[in-house]
C-alpha cells in the first residue's frame, strides 16, 4: 500500500516528469509527453467488494453483444467483478448463463463521469488464453452523429489485446471514415511480451487536434486531426470509459477459444484521469 501511495503522489504532481520520480515509473524519456497535467478523477481500488457504485456502472447482456462474442456481461456479481488486495479484478468464467457459454463484466463510467480531452492512465495486467479479448476504451455519451450508430459516433481504444496474438497491444481510433470493418481504422501496435505477467501503464493523451497512446510512457500511436469533418474526427465531445474482458467475438476468436484456459482475469491497479493544467 505504501508503494502504491508513493506512486500516486508522484503522478499527481506532474506525472513523474521530474527526475525525483523517474526511477519509480517505467518510462521512455525521449517519448514522454512534456505537458503538465492535473489529476481530476481516479479510482485506486482500495475498498474491497463490488466496484465503487459512485464511479462505475455496468453494461449488461449477451447473445453475441456487438461483435458476436460468447460471454454474458453480468451486473454486481463478485465472481465477475470485484476489488480485492488493492486491485480491480474483471474475471471471465466458462459457465452457462442466459444461453451464453461464458460470463464476464463490462464496467463503464457512463452516467457517473465523462470527459472531453485529457490524459487517461490505466495500470493493468491482461488475461492469458486463446479467446480472451480485454479492452480499455472510450465511447461517446451522445450518439448523435450521422447514422447515430457505431462507427459514425466514434470510438477510442486505449488498449486491446487478443489472446491468440499474445504480447501485442493495440490502440485505435474508429470513425465513419476510419473503422475496422473496412480495414481503415487509425491504429498501431506495440510488443509487450509480458503483458499478462506484469502490470503496465496504458495511457491516452487526447486533445482538440491529436490522439496519442503510450505503454509505460513509450509513444506508439499518434493520430492527428484532419480538417473539421466529424466523419473522420468525432472526438470533439464527451466520452466515457469502459473496462471489460470479452470472450471470442469476430476478433477474439479468430483462432478459436481455448475453453480450458478459463477462468481468466484482467487486473487493474488504478485508473486516473488528468486534464492539462493550461485548461480552465
Nearest by Cα to 71 from 255, 259, 260: 259
As given in the structure block, the three cell numbers for residue 46 are 482500495
CA–CA dist 210, 236 (Å, integer): 11
Catalytic residue (choose from 69, 91, 121, 160) = 160
The two most distant CA atoms of the chain are separated, in Å, by 54
Annotation marks residue 99 as catalytic: no
> Catalytic: which of 69, 91, 121, 155?
155
Note whether 115 and 189 are within 8 A (CB).
no
Q: Which residues contact 137 (CB under 8 A, 6 or more apart)?
A: 155, 156, 157, 158, 159, 160, 241, 242
Q: 155 catalytic, yes or no?
A: yes
Nearest CA-CA partner of 45 in 156, 199, 159: 199
DSSP 61: B
CA distance 13 to 36: 9
Asked if 239 and 232 touch (Cβ cutoff 8 Å), the reply is: no
Sign of CA dihedral 143, 148, 151, 152: negative
C-alpha cell recorded at residue 163: 489472446
Choose among 68, 51, 141, 148: nearest CA to 105. Answer: 51
Name the residues annotated as catalytic.
Answer: 155, 160
Amino acid at each position: 500500500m505504501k508503494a502504491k501511495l508513493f506512486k500516486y503522489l508522484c503522478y499527481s504532481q506532474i506525472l513523474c516528469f521530474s527526475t525525483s520520480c523517474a526511477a519509480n515509473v517505467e518510462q521512455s524519456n525521449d517519448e514522454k509527453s512534456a505537458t503538465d497535467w492535473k489529476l481530476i478523477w481516479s479510482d485506486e481500488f482500495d475498498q474491497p467488494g463490488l466496484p465503487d457504485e459512485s464511479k462505475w456502472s455496468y453494461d449488461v447482456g449477451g447473445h453475441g453483444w456487438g461483435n458476436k462474442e460468447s460471454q454474458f456481461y453480468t451486473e454486481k456479481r463478485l465472481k465477475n467483478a470485484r476489488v480485492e488486495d488493492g486491485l480491480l479484478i474483471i474475471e471471465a468464467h466458462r459457465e452457462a448463463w442466459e444461453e451464453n457459454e461464458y460470463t464476464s463484466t463490462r464496467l463503464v463510467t457512463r452516467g457517473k463521469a465523462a470527459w472531453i480531452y485529457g490524459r487517461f492512465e490505466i495500470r493493468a495486467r491482461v488475461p492469458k488464453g486463446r479467446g480472451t479479448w480485454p479492452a480499455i476504451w472510450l465511447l461517446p455519451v451522445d450518439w448523435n452523429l450521422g447514422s447515430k450508430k457505431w462507427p459514425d459516433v466514434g470510438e477510442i481504444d486505449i488498449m486491446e489485446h487478443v489472446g491468440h496474438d499474445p504480447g501485442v497491444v493495440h490502440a485505435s481510433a474508429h470513425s465513419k471514415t476510419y473503422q475496422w470493418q473496412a480495414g481503415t481504422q487509425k491504429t498501431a501496435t506495440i510488443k509487450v511480451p509480458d503483458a499478462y505477467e506484469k502490470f503496465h501503464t496504458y495511457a491516452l493523451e487526447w486533445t482538440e487536434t491529436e490522439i496519442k497512446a503510450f505503454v509505460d510512457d513509450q509513444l506508439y500511436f499518434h493520430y492527428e486531426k484532419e480538417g473539421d469533418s466529424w466523419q473522420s474526427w468525432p472526438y470533439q465531445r464527451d466520452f466515457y470509459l469502459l473496462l471489460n474482458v470479452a470472450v471470442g467475438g469476430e476478433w477474439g476468436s479468430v483462432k478459436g477459444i481455448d475453453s480450458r484456459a478459463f477462468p481468466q482475469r484482467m487486473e487493474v491497479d488504478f485508473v486516473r484521469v488528468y486534464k492539462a493544467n493550461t485548461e480552465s
